[in-house]
Structure 1
Amino acid sequence: MSTVRTIKGIELIDEALYVPAQRSDIQLHVRHRRPAAMTTFSPQRTIVLVHGATYSSGSLYDVPFNGISFLDYLAAAGYDVYALDVRGYGRSTRPPEMDQPAGQHPPLAGTDDGVADLGSVVDFVLKHRHLEQLNIFGMSWGGTVAAAWTSRNNARVHKLALVAPQWLNDQPTRIDSGGDPGAWRLIAVRETLNGWLSAAPEHARDRLIPAGWFDQWADATLAEDPWSQSHTPGKIRAVSGPIQDIRDYWRVGRKYYQPADIRVPVLLVHGEWDIDVPLAIARVLFSELENAPWRQWLEIGESTHMLLLERHRMLAWNAIRDFYDRDYHPE
């Protein structure tokens, strides 16, 4: 089912798609947005996005602050945009173990599953649009998923953009509180504000997120897990597979993929106050993207790991659009 909305004077098709995963019992929810007037489709103007380890694509990419979301922005800029929810997130199939006590099962939906689900959606879009390539975007854990999939499928990727992607880090991370992670975890959404703001210097915290934005984001995020409304009000479920992968790979110096295997143009966007992916970590990853035909780094000042949802979000949005727009060929 699709609807038509007008953003910045441009009519956009907005629809929810469901794409079969490799497992027949899993359906992947995909938010699709494009200009209503778009009649021709190309690798250069097609983007598939994947989210991070805790929040769905709806939470990270489709909250319309001041009337426009990141997905709206990309579509209004002339892109055919698809944002998937990995199994266990958002409106995609929740594994049945998520309806049972978390301690009864091992961590669910790790990076292997994320890569497989991204591949399923890319396969769908390429077939649907009769294309051989498209653009990929990922944030945080989604950056791992996007980069790993690209490293194994370069011929199918036009460009790759990453925001604060994971990389090797032997320091404790906020997402991993220790102990048995269980199959899934509960996130008290409205209680995350202090942790979000704490990444910024104290003098800047009152201006990091404009007034009303956090509550709008929290409402949208809670709506991504309707189960929580009746079972755990104020909290959403998130799978623990990505946390187990932090322990099995990133904390112990094991690379889930080889950046040198990526052979497409890459943009890396990072926030000055990102304590989840510190600057030194992102710099190492950037240096290892040595076989990309060209690569670009963008540092956004006064921004945290959640920079796409903050005061300076337009600096990142514009840079991501410009990266995909640019027809650059090194001399």
Structure 2
Amino acid sequence: MMRDSGDSCASGGWRKKMLASLLLTAAPLASAGETEQKQASRADDETEITLVRKDRYLPLQAGISLFIREVRPASLPADGASPVLLLHGARVPGVASFDLPVAGGSLAGDLAAAGYRVYIMDLRGYGFSSRPAAMSRPPELSAPLMRTADAVDDIGAAIGAVMQWSQSDKVSILGWATGGHWAGAYAAQYPQHVDRLVLYNTLYGGSRHHDTLGLGSPLDTPDKPGTFHASRFGGYRVNSRASLFPAWDNSIPSEDKTRWRDERVAQAYADAALASDDTAYQRDPPGFRAPSGAMADSFELAIGKKQWQAARLTMPVLAIRSERDFWSRAQDADALAREAPDAQALTIPSATHFVHLDRNEAGRSEFLSAVIQFLARRDDGA
């Protein structure tokens, strides 16, 4: 059985109290250099928690940098809390995915309030990180950008920086959807740097059939089945506000979507996604860019082609799947749990692909509790 283990800076009891917090987070920042903000929040027991947010740009090479946001409790020393890296998925970048400025919209804030140093990164081509030059040209002029190998390189750079900033020799990673695929690929290649791994609604190649991403889908080339339709997607895609909601809406088992999802969270999600691209409002309708490499990789996974082996994940692994997820399949979570040496699978009943952004009673509380307990688990599994 899992339980809170605590650490030198935050007791297990404090983590349990913070689990119930609804956090108001700082607005996304896009300025250069380092920017730090503090934001006070209150838990249900009236304990005041101050969270600190610091935005950094990590240089990779001339003119190229990665955006990384740190979210941590101000009451802990700078090197006191266990580091956790959050990885976004195929379309919406890091801050929009994990740190919205509304109650119930910040997984990063909730984990920080539970005693963790949390880092959110944007891969190249996403959000506030540098974009390949090809993303300034029409998408049809380039092949799908940012494939798995590119993502692994960026994650490695971010992990190296996080270990230095936090004075830690390992980092836990939580990846959402394609972010989980990228996290798994990195962890399989560099297990010595990963403490815990959470794969959340992640494709793995557990089946050759997928209703929306596999053979016969828009990702498949009509005259060459089993091949990604690269000419349709090009180097990148442009995503409108309206495009963010159909799959989410269709997976909510209620005609009244607001019963399942706070409208303030939904609107903040779309606002932050558009704000992540400084060219978004140059389009009509406004739209933000996202590299297409994630879709090419996801197509391969959807038709059963694994890009890494879970057997190489020597760290503890938690594979979380929402029952109503449209992206991952039950076979993916089952295969991960079966193949990884120290893995467990959790299915959240009736939950959607976006459970960490849904209401607490729609699975968010169960998701958050499972993640915090897993991150706090001792090496003996208690």
TM-score clears 0.5:
yes
Greater C-alpha radius of gyration? 2
State the match for 1:239 in structure 2: 291
CA contact (8 A) 1:208 1:302 kept: no
Structure 2 distance, partners of 1:228, 1:52, is 19
Out of 293, 297, 310, which is 2:358 matched to? Answer: 310
Deviation at 1:93, TM superposition (A): 0.4
Is it true that 1:156 corresponds to 2:190 in the alignment?
Answer: no
1:250 paired residue number:
301
Q: 1:167 aligns with which of 204, 213, 220?
A: 204
Partner of 1:224: 276
Return closer, same or farther for 1:218/1:133 CA change in 2, 3 Å cut-off: same
Among candidates 139, 142, 156, match of residue 119 of structure 1? 156
Query: 4+ residue runs of structure 1 moved beyond 6 angstroms?
Result: none
**Which has the higher mean CA deviation after the structures are superposed, 253-262 or 309-318?**
309-318
Partner of 2:218: 177
Q: Could you list the per-position Cα deviations for residues 43-92 of structure 1 after superposition, in whole angstroms to 9, with x for gaps in the alignment?
A: x7111111111111111101133266111111111111111000000100
Gaps of 5+ in 2: 1-34, 43-47, 220-228
> What letter is aligned with 1:299?
T
1-side partners of 2:381 and 2:364: how far apart? 29
Amino acid in the other structure paired with 1:36: A
What's the TM-score, normalizing by structure 1? 0.91
Counterpart of 1:33 in structure 2 is: 71
Aligned to 1:321: 372
Question: Which structure dedicates a bigger proportion of its chain to helix?
Answer: 1
CA contact (8 A) 1:186 1:236 kept: yes
Asked if structure 2 preserves the Cα contact closer than 8 Å seen for 1:47 and 1:135, the reply is yes
- List aligned pairs for 1:1-331, cutoff 5 A: 1-8=35-42, 9-21=48-60, 23-39=61-77, 41=79, 45-66=82-103, 69-168=106-205, 169-170=207-208, 171-174=210-213, 177-178=218-219, 179=229, 180=231, 181-201=233-253, 205=257, 207-247=259-299, 249-289=300-340, 291-292=341-342, 295-311=343-359, 312-330=363-381
Identity of aligned residues (%): 29
Per-residue CA deviations over 1:264-311 (Å, capped at 9, x if unaligned) read: 11111111101211223322222121x12xx22222122111111112
Question: 1:189: Cα distance to partner?
Answer: 2.1
Length, aligned pairs only: 325
SS at match of 1:11: strand
> Shift in Å at residue 153 of structure 1?
1.5
User: How far 1:232 sits from its partner (Å)?
Assistant: 4.4
Query: Would you say the 8 A contact 2:66–2:129 is kept in 1?
Result: yes
Query: What are the superposed Cα offsets for residues 238-288 of structure 1, whole Å, 9 maximum, x if unpaired?
Result: 1001112234x3144322110000011111111110121122332222212
Q: Distance in 1 between matches of 2:172 and 2:212?
A: 29
Q: Distance in 2 between matches of 1:272 and 1:212?
A: 24
- TM-score calculated relative to the size of structure 2: 0.79
The range that moved more, 193-202 or 213-222, is 193-202
Distance of aligned partners of 1:278 and 1:205 in 2 relative to their CA distance in 1, 3 Å threshold: farther
Distance in structure 1 (CA, Å) of the matches to 2:176 and 2:97 = 9
Aligned amino acid, residue 377 of structure 2: R
Give 3-state SS (helix, strand or coil) of 2:324's partner: coil
User: Which whole-Å deviations, capped at 9, do the CAs of 1:183-242 have from their partners, x for residues lacking one?
Assistant: 001112224322211123455755321233322221122111121112344321110011
